[in-house]
Structure 1
């Protein structure tokens, strides 16, 4: 038996073949670091926006329009750092007791992509079609993406929810939403 028989299989680069799988396992075990990165990016964004805010210098008192955003940005950065330290020390978030999700199962990317498409379509269609139509498409599309196949009931519920939401925001709360071409008819 020669000395090279006891070695593990190597890729042409000279690195062990098991390294990518080990890296994936490490990332899977430390997936909460993704939340840390998101909190860090959000904190930097909030702080940058707050510090570059155009503010009237003749404000009264020590608390101005920058105070709360700066405090929130610093808080987000602090939470991101503390969470990263906890995750790297082996801390893991626990699933809620009432959750019936099997974390060993892979993500349902079809549903995620359908929901993302519905949200994107709503954002694109809300100006030309108005909130009542775009909202109805949003409610019906979300129900469809999440598994409801009741074509006799779902579009009707979506239309009622959308018109009711439009009326609530536009008339009662005073938040103007785009009405679109149908609101001239209604």
Structure 2
């Protein structure tokens, strides 16, 4: 029945979309909100489900060259796992150290690990991006990001 890799991946994505939609329908409702907090998660869940259906219906057969592209070398696997470790450290320390510090450290260290050699430019971009996003969310959108050890 499931002969193509696209069909197998489509089923996995459809299950993920289903679980995601169930969780998004469990988000609390706010009576005074014009656009509720569940609009974007529900939209993304239905979009993922739609694309999973399209992928399942795709009739294209996988060529030998595409199968070769799908293989993953040990060095690439190490890089993926290291970036996953960076992300997990970022998530675990975000509340403690705060958005500004952790995002700056994450961008700088991840870029450094991935081979970016211009340290000054990397540091400037890390700091400016973190400050811009923090200012945008905290002061313009009034959505508080974790301050952590920084008092503002």
Superposition TM-score, scaled by structure 2 size: 0.65
Other structure's SS at 1:178 match: coil
Cα deviation, residue 149, structure 1: 2.8
Tell me: CA distance 1:164–1:45, structure 2 relative to 1, closer, same or farther (3 Å).
Answer: same
| TM-superposed deviation, 1:167 | 1.4
From 43, 55, 69, give the equivalent of 1:83.
55
- Higher radius of gyration, 1 or 2: 1
Does the aligned pair in 2 maintain the 1:169–1:175 contact within 8 Å? yes
**RMSD of aligned residue pairs (Cα, Å):** 3.9
State the number of aligned residues. 139
Structure 2 unpaired stretches of 5+: 31-36
Alignment partner of 1:49 is 2:17: no
Equivalent-residue separation in structure 1 for 2:29 and 2:136 (angstroms) = 34
What's 1:103 paired with? 69
Indicate conservation of the 8 Å contact 1:115/1:141, yes or no: no
* Residues 157 and 34 of structure 1: CA distance in aligned 2, closer, same or farther (over 3 Å): farther
Q: How much has 1:147 moved relative to structure 2?
A: 1.7
Cα offset, 1:71, TM superposition: 8.1
Of 119-128 and 158-167, the range deviating more from structure 2: 158-167
Greater RCO (Cα-Cα under 8 Å, separation 6 or more): 2
Counterpart of 2:34? Answer: none
Per the normalisation by structure 1, the TM-score is 0.55
Query: What is the CA–CA distance in structure 1 between the aligned matches of 2:109 and 2:96, rounded to whole Å?
Result: 18
Cα deviation for residue 84 of structure 1 reads: 2.1
Aligned positions of 1:53-72 closer than 5 A:
none
- CA shift, 1:34, in A, is 5.3
Distance 2:51 2:102 in 1: 37
Greater share of helix: 2
Q: What do the CA deviations read for 1:26-71 (whole angstroms, capped 9, x no partner)?
A: x9xx443454134212332144336666779xxxxxxxx9999778
Corresponding residue number in structure 2 for 1:142: 110
Deviations for 1:53-104, whole angstroms, at most 9, x for unmatched residues?
Answer: 6779xxxxxxxx9999778756654543442242xx44459xxxxxxxx937
Cα gap change, 1:169 to 1:149, in 2 (>3 Å) = same
